Structure 1
Amino acid sequence: MAKKLRLGIVPYMNAKPLIYGLNQYTDSIVLSFEVPSLLPTMLNNDQIDVAIIPSIEYFRSGNYAIIPDISISSYGTVESVKIFSKVPIQNIRTAALDKSSLTSCALTKIIFKEQYHLTPYYTPWDNRDDISGANIDAVLLIGDNAMKMNNDEYITLDLGQAWFEYTGLPFVYAVWVVKKGHHIPGINKLLRDAKEAGIRSVKALATIESQRLQLTQERCQKYLTNSIHYNLGKEEIKGLQTFYQHATSLGLAPEGMEIVLNKS
């Protein structure tokens, strides 16, 4: 029996269009769902063959090649990567960061430092359900948890919008990658076709996700259509490179890394 292709994927709504078209390959593909911060380790340990990883981890590793034409990105408001603050943003002195997203943690530090001139004391955030009783000024939440949080109770900062206002560029949160030198025939086309099938099926996906998250179908469809984008073209790569430059200036990633696209 041929070995199944093992794909690591984040469990959030924003990734569902990227894997919707893979449902027909259950006899040859295994999907492993995990928070983004853990997927690079699984890939490095050969527990999976391909993974969607945080963009910051691509630059920190130097051991990956990016699958072309695909990303999880935003052009402005993203909705699912937000700061929830009890005080005005400029008054934040302590901030807890959702450990499940390494890219969003780096983006928070960049926006706080370079746009707001803030250097708060950062702590990791584990309890993603109730931030009201925490002894901190602000919390970074990502994914479905950010979508479900009541914005009216806090001052919010959408980091996708903040990045776009600061740079005028899209922000790339995650990319599909393989290990450099790990040749998987047809993987680029397989994942590109899956993405295109998912984009065509956004309405059906929004219905499924609205039931899972207890959000309206309209909100889920708007999120998957307007807030999240799935291409990796010239503008996204420029945004990715700009993010890397800001990350290196703050010591969040090593210098000398380049964007390498997978050839398979």
Structure 2
Amino acid sequence: MTKKLRLGVVPYMNAKPLIYGLNQQTNAVELLFEVPSLLPTMLNNDQIDVAIIPSIEYFRSGDYAIIPNISISSCGAVESVKIFSKVPIHNIRVAALDKSSLTSCALTRIILKEQYHLSPQYTQWNKEYDISRTDTDAALIIGDNAMKVIDNEYVTLDLGQAWFEFTGLPFVYAVWVVKRDRRIPGINKLLKNAKEAGIRSVRKLAVTESHRLQLTEQRCLNYLTNSIRYNLGKEEIKGLQTFYQYAMSSGLVPKGAEIVFNDS
């Protein structure tokens, strides 16, 4: 009996188009869902064979190869990675970071430092989306939870939009990776086909996700077709490299990291 390929994926709506085409292959593929910050450890410990990981973790490790042509990214407003603040952005002194997303935490630090010239005190939290339970000035919330916050009570900063205004480039939140020393024949094609199947079925996904999240179908469809992008082309790679440079200058990643693609 052939051993199933174990894929570590995030449980958020933004990843559903990437895995939709895998749901019909349960005899060959097993999907394991976890928050982004835990998937790299699972990959390192061989609990999974392939993973969607935060882009910053790719640069921190140095042991991964990226599956080409696929990402979770945005070019402008992303909707699901936001800072919600009780005070004007320029007045933030203490910010709580959603510890489930390492890339978004790093992006928060970069945007507040480079664009707003702020170096607030940072704390961690995982209170989902009940901002009232934190006594900080602001909170970073990601994923489905960010889309559920009724934000008219807060000053909001969409980090995808902030990054685009700052750099003019897309922002890459996550990529599929394998270990560099691990060959998995056909994995690039498998994941590419799964992505294409998901994009073809995005309207069906929007209906399913609207029921799951109690959001309107139109909002889910707009999110999956306009806010989130799934390619990893020249502009996305340039955005990824620019993110690395800022993260490196802020001491968030080591020097000398290179983008290496998987070739199997």
TM score, norm. by length of structure 1: 0.99
Q: Which digits, 9 at most, give the CA deviation of each residue in 1:187-243, with x for residues without a partner?
A: 000000000000011000000000000000000000000000000000000000000
Please say if 1:247 is aligned against 2:252.
no
Quick one: which amino acid aligns to residue 63 of structure 2? Answer: N
Q: Distance in 2 between matches of 1:197 and 1:242?
A: 30
Residue 32 of structure 1 is matched in structure 2 by: 32
Residue 261 of structure 1 is matched in structure 2 by: 261
Offset, 1:129: 3.2
**RMSD over equivalenced CA pairs, Å:** 0.5
Residue 230 of structure 1 is matched in structure 2 by: 230
User: Aligned residues: percent identity?
Assistant: 78
Q: Which digits, 9 at most, give the CA deviation of each residue in 1:20-57, with x for residues without a partner?
A: 01112100100000000000000000000000000000
Q: Distance in 1 between matches of 2:27 and 2:134?
A: 46
Residue 171 of structure 1 is matched in structure 2 by: 171
Greater displacement, 205-214 / 133-142: 133-142
Residue 75 of structure 2 is matched in structure 1 by: 75
Please say if 1:211 is aligned against 2:211.
yes
Contact 2:129 2:141 in 1 (8 A): no
Quick one: which amino acid aligns to residue 169 of structure 2? Answer: L
Structure 1 portions without partners, runs of 5+: none
Quick one: which amino acid aligns to residue 158 of structure 2? Answer: D
TM score, norm. by length of structure 2: 0.99
Residue 187 of structure 1 is matched in structure 2 by: 187
Runs (4 or more) in structure 1 with deviation over 6 Å come to: none
Q: Distance in 1 between matches of 2:147 and 2:15?
A: 14
Please say if 1:127 is aligned against 2:100.
no
Equivalent residue runs for 1:148-163 within 5 Å: 148-163=148-163
Q: Distance in 1 between matches of 2:218 and 2:126?
A: 30
Quick one: which amino acid aligns to residue 53 of structure 1? Answer: I
What is the DSSP-based 3-state SS (H/G/I as helix, E as strand, rest coil) of the residue aligned with 1:53?
A: strand
Q: Distance in 1 between matches of 2:4 and 2:133?
A: 46
Offset, 1:135: 1.1
Residue 41 of structure 2 is matched in structure 1 by: 41
Q: Which digits, 9 at most, give the CA deviation of each residue in 1:146-182, with x for residues without a partner?
A: 0111111110000000000000000000000000110
Contact 2:129 2:148 in 1 (8 A): no
Q: Distance in 2 between matches of 1:128 and 1:224?
A: 21
Contact 2:90 2:118 in 1 (8 A): yes
Offset, 1:127: 1.1
How many residues are matched? 264
Residue 93 of structure 1 is matched in structure 2 by: 93
Quick one: which amino acid aligns to residue 82 of structure 1? Answer: K
Quick one: which amino acid aligns to residue 6 of structure 1? Answer: R
Please say if 1:137 is aligned against 2:171.
no
What is the DSSP-based 3-state SS (H/G/I as helix, E as strand, rest coil) of the residue aligned with 1:235?
A: helix
Q: Distance in 2 between matches of 1:84 and 1:218?
A: 23
Structure 2 portions without partners, runs of 5+: none
Q: Distance in 2 between matches of 1:148 and 1:133?
A: 16
Q: Distance in 1 between matches of 2:134 and 2:72?
A: 30
Offset, 1:134: 1.8
What is the DSSP-based 3-state SS (H/G/I as helix, E as strand, rest coil) of the residue aligned with 1:37?
A: helix
Quick one: which amino acid aligns to residue 160 of structure 1? Answer: G
Quick one: which amino acid aligns to residue 79 of structure 1? Answer: E
What is the DSSP-based 3-state SS (H/G/I as helix, E as strand, rest coil) of the residue aligned with 2:24?
A: helix
Offset, 1:133: 3.6
Q: Distance in 1 between matches of 2:135 and 2:183?
A: 48
Q: Distance in 2 between matches of 1:20 and 1:60?
A: 29
What is the DSSP-based 3-state SS (H/G/I as helix, E as strand, rest coil) of the residue aligned with 1:24?
A: coil
